Structures are given as C-alpha cells and as structure tokens.
Amino acid sequence: MIKVLSVFGTRPEAIKMAPVVKELSKFPGEIVSQVAVTAQHREMLDQVLDLFHIVPDYDLNLMRHGQTLYDITAGALLGLKDILTQEKPDLVLVHGDTTTTFVAALAAYYQQIKVGHVEAGLRTGNKYAPFPEEMNRRMAGSLADYHFAPTETSKKNLLRENVPEESIIVTGNTVIDALLETVGKEYCLTGLGLDQVNWKKKILLVTCHRRENWGAPMARVFQAIRKIKEMRPDTEVIFPVHKNPLVRDLARDILCGTGGIHLIEPLDYQPFSNLMAKSYLVLTDSGGMQEEVPSLGKPVLVLRDTTERPEALEAGTVKLVGTDGEKIIKETVQLIDNPHAYHEMANAVNPYGDGKASGRIVRAILKFFRGNSC
Ligand code: UD1
Ligand code: UDP
C-alpha cells in the first residue's frame, strides 16, 4: 500500500486538489489516501471541502485575522511535523504556490518523505511577482521528487532548472477537472446575494486579492471599475470580495453605493463557476481564473503586469492590463463597445487540460512507486 498525504490550506488549492483526492480514493487496494489541511484559509476552504465532501484527517486550524507570512510558515511547519511523524506517509502531495505548499514540502523533506508537486513548473521569472507565490513554487519545486506539470510550457521551465525529465509528467491542470464537474447549463443563480442583478445587462465579473496589489494598485483598480460602471450603464459589476479585511475595506470604501456594482460574499465554487460561465467578461488578478475562464470562452483582463500562465495569453483570450486605471478602462470599454474586439478574445480555448489531469497524476504515482519497489 502507498500512503499518500495530500496537504493544502487555501481555497484554490482545495479546488484543484479535490479531484486528485477523489481519484486517489478509487484505488483502495493500492493507496491509503489521507488529507491534512493547514486551514491557512478557514471559511473559503470549508466552502470547498463541503462541496466536494472532503473530511480532512487532520486540520491545523491555523487561520488568524491579520496573519503574516511568518505566522503561516511557522504554524504550518510545526503542525505538519507532528502529523508527518505520526503518519509517516510514503508521499506528500502539495499543490501550486501558497505558503502552505512550500511549508508542507519543506516539512516532508525534513523527514525525507517524498514530495509530489501538483501544478509544477509555473514561472514568471520575477521573484516578487506574484509575491510570495513565485518563490513558494520554486522552493516547493526544488524540494519535490515528482513534478506534475500542467502544460508543456511548465515542463520546459522545469527542464531549464535541471529537473530530471523522468520525474516530470505533463498532466493538464486539475482545475479543469473541477470546473467540468461543476459547470452546468441549467444552473440557477438566484439567491446568493445576486437578486438585484439585472441579468439582461453585460455582466462584468471582478475578483482581486493579490498581495502585490494591496494598497495603491488595488485602489486604482477599484476606482477604474467604478468609472467603467458610470461610463457604461448597460453593464452590471459582480464582485465576490475575498475575505481578507484589507481587500474588503478598500472595496467597500471605493465601490459601495455605486448602483449596479454588487459586492457580495465569496461564492461557493459551484455557483461561482456557473457565474463565470454567465459573465460577459472577467477582470481578475487570480491565478486559477486565468485557466478556468478561457475554457468557458470568455475574455479575461488580468490585473497584473506578469503572468505565469502564458498559454491563454498566446491564444488571445487573456490580456494583461496591470493596475493602471486608464489602461483598465480603455481595454474594458473596448470589449464592451466593440463586438469585433470582443469576439476576437471570446474564444473557448483549453490549453490547460481536458478534465482528466487527476487520473494522470494518480496513475503516475502508482507507476513511480511500483517502479521504485521493483
Ligand atoms: C492566500 C495565498 C495566495 C492565494 C490566495 C487565494 C499565501 C501567502 N497566499 O492569500 O497565494 O492566491 O490565498 O485566495 O499563501 N481570510 C478569512 N477567511 C478565509 C480566508 C482568508 O477571513 O477563509 C482573511 C483572514 O483575515 C486572513 C487573510 O484573509 O488573515 C489573508 O489570508 P492569507 O491566506 O494570509 O492570504 P491570501 O491573500 O488569502
Ligand atoms: N472562486 C470561488 N468563489 C469566489 C471566487 C473565486 O470559488 O467567490 C474560485 C475560482 O473559480 C478559482 C479559485 O477560487 O478556482 C481562485 O481562487 P483565488 O482567486 O482566491 O486564488 P488564486 O487562483 O489567485 O490563487
């Protein structure tokens, strides 16, 4: 039996690991699958655990309001030490680029436990953008034994860093597995704080939370969004606001009270994925949404200067607009007013996967370990 401990802590990791956890459970004769959550996020993590019926074996319950990178790093490292000492898994699976990801990989390495990195190999090349995710994923990658790269581009990034080719498997991104399971034509979006939305108008879906955008850049983004709504009354803005108080206070200060701008609580993943599918366009600094929205055929304006996800950029459905107010307004208004510009971008492209990434990951794990035991 191979004992696999999946460790995650935030909303996006949970969404992207849920299909992997489900897949691991399909091999009860070969794999013992356990889940440990750091709960670096609390409510936003629990929303996903509930949706995918995941009951963690361990929950470190770390989240505190105003937590710093030091708090999460130290708390997760010590908490995971005890879990790993007790369980002695054969493999620790981590996902992506959060502080939980890096620390879980480090904790496993300290006990010489093998590490599998899901969504490996994404890079911007700038260690402060996104911050601290670029370094989290690079450090997790250095510690990992097995690298589940979503695309050929991410595999090439790893090869450039001299990661052995035989330890890299191109799998697609598990977010597409999760998305295909949750988006449905008939999904009804009533309730959810969306009752005042005029669905006949063009829906602009907004999310924004990145650390490097906190403060002045985020204020510019929100001011631009308010201006766009005032300039184009045929739009409605829906903004499920991240739980971080720094984001919430600023969003409330700048956007509250503008008619047609709906600031709502973070949505459960299923309504949210169906809201993405119903939107006219998306403005976001999220990593995961740069993968999801292109596959739904909607344009994405990315509120960042760099991206580690160049594939959809190359396919033309994603554009980087940064946090300059004028640029955000210009690009958004062009997509609202100009059907040609809109249709140029609104193509369903799927460079990130076919919904079968988790199956590939689990088959590769079985092969790696059977190979090792031969
Ligand atoms: C974290 C990740 C980031 C990821 C993002 C996804 C790090 C350093 N950052 O950033 O990579 O893109 O999650 O959303 O790993 N909060 C709640 N309830 C929740 C979640 C958060 O109240 O369910 C509030 C808390 O006050 C918390 C704050 O948000 O202190 C910040 O959470 P934290 O995980 O430190 O940073 P994020 O910006 O969410
Ligand atoms: N998401 C969600 N509810 C929301 C907003 C986002 O379920 O109200 C999902 C979204 O579809 C994506 C993930 O959360 O899969 C992105 O999370 P976030 O933007 O917090 O993190 P990032 O992707 O930037 O790491």
Residue-range domain boundaries for the chain: 2-173+354-370, 202-346
* Residuewise pLDDT in 10s, the chain (374 residues): 999 999 999 999 999 999 999 999 999 999 999 999 999 999 999 999 999 999 999 999 999 999 999 999 999 999 999 999 999 999 999 999 999 999 999 999 999 999 999 999 999 999 999 999 999 999 999 999 999 999 999 999 999 999 999 999 999 999 999 999 999 877 888 878 898 999 999 999 999 999 999 999 999 999 999 999 999 999 999 999 999 999 999 999 999 999 999 999 999 999 999 999 999 999 999 999 999 999 999 999 999 999 999 999 999 999 999 999 999 999 999 999 999 999 999 988 889 999 999 999 999 999 999 874 43
Q: Which residue has the tokens 């059977």?
A: 370
Q: Tell me which H or E stretch contains 204.
A: strand 202-207
Could you tell me if the CB of 239 is within 6 A of ligand 2? no
Could you tell me if the CB of 97 is within 6 A of ligand 2? no
What atom of ligand 2 comes closest to residue 286's alpha carbon?
24
Q: What percent of the chain has pLDDT over 70?
A: 99
What is the structure's pLDDT at 82? 97
**Which class would CATH give 2-173+354-370?**
alpha beta
Pocket test for ligand 1, best of 98, 247, 290 (most atoms within 8 A of CB): 98
Q: CA-CA distance, 268 to 109, in Å (whole number)?
A: 34
Which active-site residues does the annotation give?
A: 97, 119, 133, 209, 211, 242
Report residue 51 as tokens: 């949706």
Q: CA-CA distance, 293 to 352, in Å (whole number)?
A: 11
DSSP state of 166: G
Pocket test for ligand 2, best of 8, 10, 11 (most atoms within 8 A of CB): 11
Buried b (16+ CB within 10 A) or exposed e, 16-52: bbbbbbbbbeebeeebebbbbbbbbbbebbebbbebb
The domain 202-346: what is its CATH number?
A: 3.40.50.2000
The distance from CA 285 to its chain's CA centroid, rounded to whole angstroms, is: 10
Ligand nearest to the CA of 100: 1
Question: From residue 37, how far is each of 28, 309, 363 by CA, in Å?
Answer: 21, 26, 24
- In terms of C-beta distances under 8 Å and separation of at least 24 residues, what long-range contacts does 65-71 make, across chains too? 65/245, 66/245, 67/40, 69/99, 69/132
* 90 and 115 Cβ atoms separated by less than 8 Å: no
Q: In which region does residue 162 sit, left (phi positive, over 0), alpha (psi from -120 to 50) or beta (all else)?
A: left
Cα 269–Cα 294–Cα 287 angle in degrees, nearest 5: 60
Could you tell me if the CB of 137 is within 6 A of ligand 2? no
What atom of ligand 2 comes closest to residue 48's alpha carbon?
7
Nearest alpha-carbon partner for 201 in 238, 225, 234: 234
Q: CA-CA distance, 176 to 285, in Å (whole number)?
A: 18
Report residue 88 as tokens: 């002695």
Cα torsion at 42, 45, 49, 54 (round to 10°)?
-80
Q: Which residues line ligand 1 (CB under 6 A)?
A: 10-12, 40-44, 63, 65-67, 69, 72, 97-99, 132-133, 209, 211, 243-245
Could you tell me if the CB of 300 is within 6 A of ligand 2? no
For the sheet containing 146-149, what is the strand order?
58-59, 31-37, 2-8, 91-95, 114-118, 146-149, 168-170
Angle between helices 11-24 and 43-51 (to 10 degrees): 30
* 73 and 113 Cβ atoms separated by less than 8 Å: no
On the question of a common fold for 2-173+354-370 and 202-346, the answer reads yes
Among protein residues, the one with the nearest Cα to ligand 2's atom 2 is 269
Could you tell me if the CB of 263 is within 6 A of ligand 2? no
Could you tell me if the CB of 12 is within 6 A of ligand 2? yes
Q: How many residues comprise the chain?
A: 374
How do residues 28-70 score in pLDDT, each as one tens digit?
A: 999 999 999 999 999 999 999 999 999 999 999 999 999 999 9
